[in-house]
Amino acid sequence: MNDPVLAAVVRAATSATGASAGWIVAVRGDELEVVAVSGDVDPAIVGTRVSGASGTAGYVVGSGQPMALASGRDDPRLGEGVAAAAGRRPASVVSVPCEDDSAVAGALELIDKAGGGSFSFDDVELATLLAGIAAAALTSGADERRLVPAPEELSGGLRALAAADPSRYATTATLVASLLARD
């Protein structure tokens, strides 16, 4: 599921720049994880992880520098990383780091400018501004809170699982009970 703040950022970026699709990736060790998407891309890609060194987002995260590429460039990075995982080879891309004062936390990437054109300098500037907002959301600790559900959320999820798939619930309940019994 898209994080609501990050989804709003990438939605604003795709809309304002005329991109057909966009995503935000977060650094997870030596990988990049898609944490929000917008536009013409399957939302099921959220949660997908790719090598942190691949594609245009990998370059941007590694270098800390924005990147814009246009059609006609035979750059192999266009067909790697998140774009490849999404089944795309973009004709144009702008990718900017999501960084705070201390580190690059991820990247905001926009692909395929409307009308087949190239992204402009203004598009890069706007994406950079929005990436700063995304960086704050990525580094605020909200990510850890989402990874560890509150007890109420967990019990609600277990109730829903019991109703939808009793067999899977039985397996999950046995595992949870085993973990709770640990000293």
Question: HEC states along the chain?
Answer: CCCHHHHHHHHHHHHHHCEEEEEEEEEECCEEEEEEEEECCCHHHCCCEEECCCHHHHHHHHHCCCEEECCCCCCHHHHCHHHHHCCCCCCCEEEEEEECCCCEEEEEEEEEEHHHCCCCHHHHHHHHHHHHHHHHHHHCCHHHHHHCCCHHHHHHHHHHHHHHCHHHHHHHHHHHHHHHCCC
Q: How many CA atoms lie within 13 A of 100 on its CB side?
A: 11
Band of pLDDT at residue 71, cut at 50, 70 and 90: low
Across residues 120-148, what is the average pLDDT? 80
- Return mean pLDDT, the chain: 83
- Between 160 and 91, the more confident residue is 91
Is the pLDDT at 151 greater than 60? The verdict is yes
Is the pLDDT at 26 greater than 60? The verdict is yes
Band of pLDDT at residue 82, cut at 50, 70 and 90: confident
Domain boundaries, the chain: 4-145, 149-180
What is the spatial distance between Cα 110 and Cα 107, in angstroms, rounded to a whole number? 10
Is the pLDDT at 15 greater than 60? The verdict is yes
pLDDT at 142: 45
- Between 45 and 71, the more confident residue is 45
Under CATH, domain 4-145 is a member of which superfamily? Answer: GAF domain (3.30.450.40)
The predicted model scores a pTM of 0.73
pLDDT at 104: 93
- Between 134 and 180, the more confident residue is 134
Least confident of 1-15, 48-62, 91-105, 153-167: 153-167
